[in-house]
């Protein structure tokens, strides 16, 4: 196989089975170009970094779901970042369409890449790769009837083992060996949720779980790396009150998006011995909203029985009409209102 870090003609199939070193080289090879494309379309460094990181995570999903296609790797990355940029439109900028871009010629001036942001993206990319093992081709030496028998036996064993594991993981906390199983079960429940209202209730219950986990860690006098969702009620220069927890904001803390009191935040950081949380990254908590548009009032839509506030500053793509399917992202206020950040109306 050619070196992914230097060969521009690699396909998605070629990333299957790569080790951490080669995946890291792949990330570092394409990160600057993907980031430059996002930045020159968005003119926002932090948002461009967020989009670029999302693109590389989607690359892993694409490779897994298709078992690696022969589509050009660079072309797929540029097409994906184009789509994600269009979803991250900011106010007062013209709407962009998906142009299926597969190439991008960066401007002549030198672009300064934030090395810390690139390294953080690289680490998360490699961590995600470990959690998303690629599908392996089943050996043709195994006959189909025998394979089905073996598969059935394995399914029974896995079901029994998974049930025991899930029960044991219910009380797991960040840093525990079974904690990833707890998250996997939550994601499955969310995937199986019926409509928008049920999905939102499940997501809110998970947010409360994260908060309760921090309280349990505090009671156990444990330190841990964690994610926390809570309402921001106070903002001092270097300390914020999220729920009833003190979050320390350092010069190294990455702040993404517009943050102000009165909204729920997603905080990623470290629980300290003194009970505070040293924040690595903070951003508004976003909720996915999708469903049928049932009612339109001034700055307020009803989507699958859920009321969504749509203020003038929200980005609306397409023409809203009753009966149309919509999708978008919304923030949650402390009074439990959902306020749209952007909404796309399906054709």
What contacts 292, CB < 8 A, 6 or more positions away?
303, 304, 323, 324, 325, 326
Query: In the chain, where are the structural domains located?
Result: 12-131, 207-284, 287-345
Looking up tokens 């969310």 gives 190
Residue 149 confidence (pLDDT): 56
CATH, domain range 207-284: 2.40.50.140
Q: Which residue has the higher pLDDT, 284 or 181?
A: 284
Does residue 334 contact residue 264 with C-beta atoms inside 8 Å? Answer: yes
Q: Which two tokens stand for residue 126?
A: 């490699």
Residue 102: predicted pLDDT: 47
How is residue 69 annotated by DSSP?
-
Question: Checking DSSP bridges between strand 254-255 and strand 277-284, what pairing results, if any?
Answer: parallel
The predicted pLDDT at position 233 comes to 93
Burial (0-12, 13-18, 19+ Cβ within 10 Å), 12: buried
Q: At 74, is the pLDDT very low, low, confident or very high (cuts 50, 70, 90)?
A: confident
pTM of the model: 0.55
Token representation of residue 122: 């690289």
pLDDT tens for 132-172 read 554 443 334 444 454 555 566 556 555 555 555 445 556 78
Fold of 287-345: OB fold (Dihydrolipoamide Acetyltransferase, E2P) (2.40.50)
Band of residue 78 on the pLDDT scale cut at 50, 70, 90: confident
pLDDT confidence band for 287 (50 / 70 / 90): very high
Write out pLDDT tens, residues 221-241. Answer: 998 899 999 999 999 989 999
- Nearest in space to 311 (alpha carbons), one of 333, 290, 288, 285: 333
Whole-number mean pLDDT of the chain? 80
Rounded CA-CA distance 79/298 in Å is: 36
pLDDT (tens digit per residue) in 182-222: 878 888 888 888 889 999 999 999 999 988 999 899 999 99
Residues paired with 230 in a beta bridge? 265
Of 336, 305, 227, 209, nearest to 271 (Cα)? 227
The CA-CA-CA angle for residues 115, 240, 200, to 5°, reads 85
Task: Give the pLDDT score at 291.
Answer: 93
């Amino acid at each position: 196989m050619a070196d992914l870090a230097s060969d521009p003609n690699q396909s998605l199939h070629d990333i299957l089975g790569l080790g951490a070193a080669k995946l890291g080289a792949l990330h570092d090879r394409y990160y600057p170009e993907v980031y430059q494309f996002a930045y020159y379309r968005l003119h926002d460094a932090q948002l461009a970094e967020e989009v670029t990181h999302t693109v590389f995570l989607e690359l892993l999903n694409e490779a897994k779901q298709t078992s690696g296609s022969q589509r050009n790797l660079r072309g797929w990355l540029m097409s994906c970042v184009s789509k994600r940029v269009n979803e991250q439109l900011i106010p007062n900028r013209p709407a962009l369409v998906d142009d299926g871009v597969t190439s991008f010629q960066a401007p002549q001036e030198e672009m300064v890449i934030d090395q810390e942001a690139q390294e953080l993206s690289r680490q998360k990319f490699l961590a995600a790769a470990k959690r998303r093992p690629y599908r392996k081709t089943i050996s043709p030496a195994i006959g189909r009837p025998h394979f089905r028998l073996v598969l059935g036996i394995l399914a029974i064993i896995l079901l029994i083992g998974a049930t025991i594991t899930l029960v044991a993981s219910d009380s797991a906390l960040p840093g525990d060996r079974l904690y990833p199983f707890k998250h996997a079960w939550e994601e499955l429940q969310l995937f199986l949720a019926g409509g928008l209202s049920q999905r939102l209730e499940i997501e809110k219950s998970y947010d409360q779980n994260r908060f309760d986990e921090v309280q349990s860690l505090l009671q156990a006098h444990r330190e841990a790396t964690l994610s926390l969702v809570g309402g921001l009620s106070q903002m001092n220069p270097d300390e914020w009150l999220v729920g009833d927890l003190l979050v320390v904001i350092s010069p190294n803390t990455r702040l993404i998006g517009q943050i102000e009191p009165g909204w729920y935040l997603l905080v990623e950081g470290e629980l300290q011995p003194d009970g505070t949380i040293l924040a690595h990254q903070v951003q508004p908590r976003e909720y996915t909203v999708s469903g049928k548009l049932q009612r339109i009032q001034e700055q307020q839509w009803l989507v699958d029985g859920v009321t969504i506030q749509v203020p003038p500053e929200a980005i609306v793509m397409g023409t809203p009409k009753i009966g149309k399917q919509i999708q978008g992202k919304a923030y949650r206020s402390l009074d439990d209102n959902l306020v749209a950040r952007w909404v796309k109306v399906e054709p």
